[in-house]
Amino acid sequence: MTTPPPVPPAPPAQPEPLTADEEALIRALPRLIYALPRAIDADMVREQQLPLIEWITLMRLSEAPQRRMRMGELAVACELSLSGMTRIVTVLERRGWVERIRCDADARGLNAVLTDAGLARLERAWPSNLASLRRHFLDHLEGVDLARLARAVQSVAGDA
């Protein structure tokens, strides 16, 4: 007796077409991802002579326990390669805002440590960063449920 061939799986259902609002959002996202950091960076450089990536690096260190992070962890937190992070930390180190010290647990590793001068610089730049964030992004979200939007963005980004 011959066994009948297996039944092929049903083809996947066709996805629903995008609504006009969904398509507008999907088309706007790449522009937002490209334009927002550049606009904030331009404001920070113009007003504070502090590029956004340097601000982010100082901010991440300020939030870390003892204001220190392993270089690899800092690179991940800043969304940079380790070599890119090394270049940024070298600049910040020359300015006296960050120090590199050997890790206690692993003498091969290095920690980046935010200095008091680096924290003071971050605090001086904070109003410009906040104003830029509001001007280029938050002020455009009037009437939007920000808590719900934050949860959705975190979910998409894999943070939830």
pLDDT, the chain, mean: 94
pLDDT given for residue 6 in this prediction: 86
| pLDDT band (50, 70, 90) for residue 41 | very high
Q: What percent of the chain has pLDDT over 90?
A: 84
Residues found in the chain: 160
Of 95, 131, 135, which Cα lies nearest the Cα of 115? 95
| pLDDT band (50, 70, 90) for residue 75 | very high
| Model pTM score | 0.85
| Integer Cα distance of 117 and 144 in angstroms | 38
Give the list of residues 6+ apart from residue 154 with CB closer than 8 angstroms, or none.
160
| Integer Cα distance of 13 and 15 in angstroms | 6
| pLDDT band (50, 70, 90) for residue 160 | low
